[in-house]
Amino acid sequence: MSDSPYIQATKKWFEKFVLALNLCPFAHKPAQEGKIRFVMSEARNADQLVRTLLPELMFLYDHEPDEWETTLIVHPHCLNNWDDFWDFLGIVEELIDEAGLTGIFQVVGFHPDYLFGGEEPGDASHFTNRSPFPTMHILREESLSGAVESHPDVEGIPVANVKKLRELGTGILGKKLKELQEL
**Taking residues 54-67, what's their average pLDDT?**
96
**Residue 86: strand, helix, or coil:** helix
The pLDDT, as a whole number, for residue 172 is: 93
In 3D space, the residue among 71, 73, 77, 67 whose CA is nearest the CA of residue 42 turns out to be 77
Q: Does the structure show a pLDDT above 50 at 1?
A: no
Q: Does the structure show a pLDDT above 90 at 182?
A: no
Which pLDDT band holds residue 146 (cuts at 50, 70, 90)? confident
Q: What average pLDDT does the chain have?
A: 93
- In this structure, the strands spanning 70-74 and 36-40 are parallel
Sheet hosting strand 70-74, strand order edge to edge: 36-40, 70-74, 135-140, 105-110
The pLDDT, as a whole number, for residue 154 is: 76
Alpha helices in the chain (DSSP H): 5-13, 28-32, 46-62, 82-98, 141-150, 156-168, 170-181
Cβ atoms within 10 A of the Cβ of 158, count?
13
Q: Does the structure show a pLDDT above 80 at 152?
A: no
Least confident of 4-13, 118-127, 145-154, 170-179: 145-154
In 3D space, the residue among 105, 92, 99, 182 whose CA is nearest the CA of residue 143 turns out to be 105
Q: What percent of the chain has pLDDT over 70?
A: 98
The pLDDT, as a whole number, for residue 2 is: 56
Q: Does the structure show a pLDDT above 80 at 38?
A: yes
The pLDDT, as a whole number, for residue 51 is: 95
The pLDDT, as a whole number, for residue 160 is: 92
The answer for residues whose C-beta is within 8 angstroms of residue 9's C-beta and 6 or more apart is 132, 133, 180, 181, 183
Q: What percent of the chain has pLDDT over 90?
A: 84
**Taking residues 114-142, what's their average pLDDT?**
95
pLDDT top residue among 119 and 1: 119
**Taking residues 95-122, what's their average pLDDT?**
95
